[in-house]
Amino acid sequence: MITLKDSEFRELTGYMKANYGINLKEKRILIEGRLSNLITEKGFTNFSDYLKFVFEDSSGDEISTLINKLTTNHTFFMREADHFEYFKDTVLPYLESNCKTKDLRIWSAGCSSGEEPYTLALIIADYFGTQKAMWNTKILATDISLRVLEAAEKGVYSGEAVNTISRYWALKYFNKIDNDNYQICDQIRGEIIYRNFNLMAEIFPFKKKFHVIFCRNVMIYFEPKTKMELINKFYDMTETGGYLFIGHSESVNKDETRYKYVMPAVYRKG
Ligand X SMILES: C[S@@+](CC[C@H](N)C(=O)[O-])C[C@H]1O[C@@H](n2cnc3c(N)ncnc32)[C@H](O)[C@@H]1O
Residues lying near ligand X in the complex (CB under 6 A): 20-22, 71-75, 79, 110-112, 116, 143-145, 148, 198-200, 216-218, 247
Q: Measured between alpha carbons, how far is 137 from 123 in angstroms, rounded to an integer?
A: 11
Distance (Å, whole) CA 229 – CA 227: 5
CB of 141 to ligand X, least distance (A): 9
CA nearest neighbour of 227 among 216, 239, 211: 216
Identify which of residues 99 and 211 has a Cβ nearer to ligand X in the complex. 211
Q: What is the 3-state secondary structure (H, E, C) of 200-239?
A: CCCCCCCCCCEEEEEECCCHHHCCHHHHHHHHHHHHHCEE
Q: Would you say 99 or 244 has its CB closer to ligand X?
A: 244
CB 194 → ligand X: shortest distance, Å?
12
Residue 20 or residue 194: which is nearer to ligand X going by CB? 20
Smallest distance from the beta carbon of 30 to ligand X, in angstroms? 14
Report the residue number, 99 or 105, with the smaller CB distance to ligand X.
Answer: 105
Least Cβ distance, residue 84 to ligand X (angstroms)? 11
Question: Residue 140 has what DSSP assignment?
Answer: E
Strands 106-109 and 210-215: parallel
Taking alpha carbons only, the member of 201, 213, 203 closest to residue 259 is 213
Q: Taking the CB of residue 185, how many other CB atoms lie within 10 A of it?
A: 14
State in angstroms the smallest separation of the CB of 21 from ligand X.
Answer: 5
- Nearest residue (CB) to ligand X, 88 versus 132: 88
